[in-house]
Structure 1
Amino acid sequence: MKKMIGLVGTNSDNSTNRQLLYFMKEHFKNHVDIEIVEIKEIPLFNKPEDKKLPSVVTEIAEKIEAADGVIISTPEYDHAVPASLMNALNWLSYHIYPFLDKPVMITGASYGTLGSSRAQQHLRQMLDSPELKARIMPSSEFLLSHSLQAFDENNQLKDTEQVKKLEALFKDFMVFVEVMKQLGNAHEANKKEAENFSWENL
């Protein structure tokens, strides 16, 4: 059985994005093992001169590296991802490269009508940066709008059409993960580029 990481893209204690990931963990449990990983204990990024990473960061990085893929569920704040998610990705690309060539599926829930479409686009840009360089599944937005009303008391999605769409996208993601395994020939070269990359030297 494949192992996935479900990364909660917020430090909020009450988040429908966390709910969505837990729904996916339960809903797809017969096909994949999804471990929910929190980012709320990660300290503010400070670019330590000794390059020593907080233990919580190294633990998350190790889990991502060992996983077959990563699902990130992000809310949208001011047309962008939350500062806490950006902060986590800053740490997870500071002289470590767990996302390099890692298959990633992006989902998002928000209280409004548009889901988290702009935040998802922002996250795609970040994950495609030279220091992260993840493999992001294309054309696969799952946008859960009006998320406060989307779940019942058992944390099940009420809208069957939304469930069907999520099932189809997740099935595509499983195929995407397998395809990405065939595209690892440049992994070492990509890692060397990431290690040698520096914005200061441009």
Structure 2
Amino acid sequence: MKKLIGLVGTNSDKSTNRQLLQYMSQHFDHLAEIELVEIKDFPLFDKPDTKELPAIVKEVAAKIEAADGVIISTPEYDHTITAALSNALAWLSYGIYPFVDKAVMITGASYGKLGSSRAQQHLRQILDSPELKARIMPSSEFLLGYSLQAFDENNQLVDAEKVEQLDRIFDDFLFFISITSQLMTAHAANIKEAENFSWDKK
């Protein structure tokens, strides 16, 4: 059984993106173990003089490294991801590289119709950056619009078509994990490239 991390892409105490990951953890418990991981305790990113990482950052990085894959569920604020998620990814690529060659699935829920489509597009660009170098599953958007009405009192998705869509995308993600796990010949080189990359170098 695959072990996955469900990264909650917000520091909000009440979030339908957290609900979505909770639903997925229960709904797919026969296929994978999904551990929800919060980012709300990450401090504001500022390059530490000693390069010593906060304990919470090292803890989350270790969980990502040990996992077979990561699911990130992101809201959309001002057509992009949350400041909290951007902050967490900055920490998780500062001298550590848990996302390099890691299989990632992106989901998103929003109160409106679009379901975080622009934020998901932006997140793909960030995860593809030289410091992160994740393997993002292509052509796999799961967009949950009108998310305040999407769950019943038992935290089940009420739209059968959305359930079927998520089932198919998740099956694809498990297959994507199997494929990417075999594409590791260049992993050491990719880690070294991420380590050596700096925007300050000329």
Q: Distance in 1 between matches of 2:6 and 2:15?
A: 14
- 1:25-174 paired onto structure 2 within 5 Å: 25-174=25-174
- The count of corresponding residues between Structure 1 and Structure 2 is 202
Measure how far apart 1:49 and its partner are: 1.7
Runs of 4+ residues deviating >6 angstroms: none
* Alignment partner, residue 195 of structure 1: 195
Measure how far apart 1:101 and its partner are: 0.2
Q: Distance in 1 between matches of 2:51 and 2:139?
A: 36
Mark the runs of 5 or more structure 1 residues left unpaired by the alignment.
none
**% identical aligned pairs:** 71
Q: Which amino acid aligns with 1:189?
A: A
Q: Which amino acid aligns with 1:116?
A: S
Give the TM-score of the pair, scaled to structure 1: 0.99
Q: Distance in 1 between matches of 2:181 and 2:198?
A: 28
Q: Which amino acid aligns with 1:160?
A: A
Q: Distance in 1 between matches of 2:151 and 2:2?
A: 26
Measure how far apart 1:182 and its partner are: 1.0
Q: Distance in 2 between matches of 1:47 and 1:90?
A: 10
Q: What CA RMSD, in Å, does the superposition of the two structures yield over aligned residues?
A: 0.4
Q: Distance in 2 between matches of 1:106 and 1:14?
A: 20
Q: Distance in 1 between matches of 2:44 and 2:79?
A: 21
Alignment of 1:23 with 2:29, yes or no, is no
Q: Distance in 1 between matches of 2:81 and 2:47?
A: 20
For the residue of structure 2 that corresponds to 1:199, the secondary structure is coil
For the residue of structure 1 that corresponds to 2:105, the secondary structure is strand
Q: Distance in 1 between matches of 2:169 and 2:28?
A: 12
Q: Which amino acid aligns with 2:14?
A: N
Mark the runs of 5 or more structure 2 residues left unpaired by the alignment.
none
Q: Deviations over 1:91-135 (max 9, x none)?
A: 000000000000000000000011100000000000000000000
Give the TM-score of the pair, scaled to structure 2: 0.99
Q: Deviations over 1:170-197 (max 9, x none)?
A: 0000000000011100000001100000
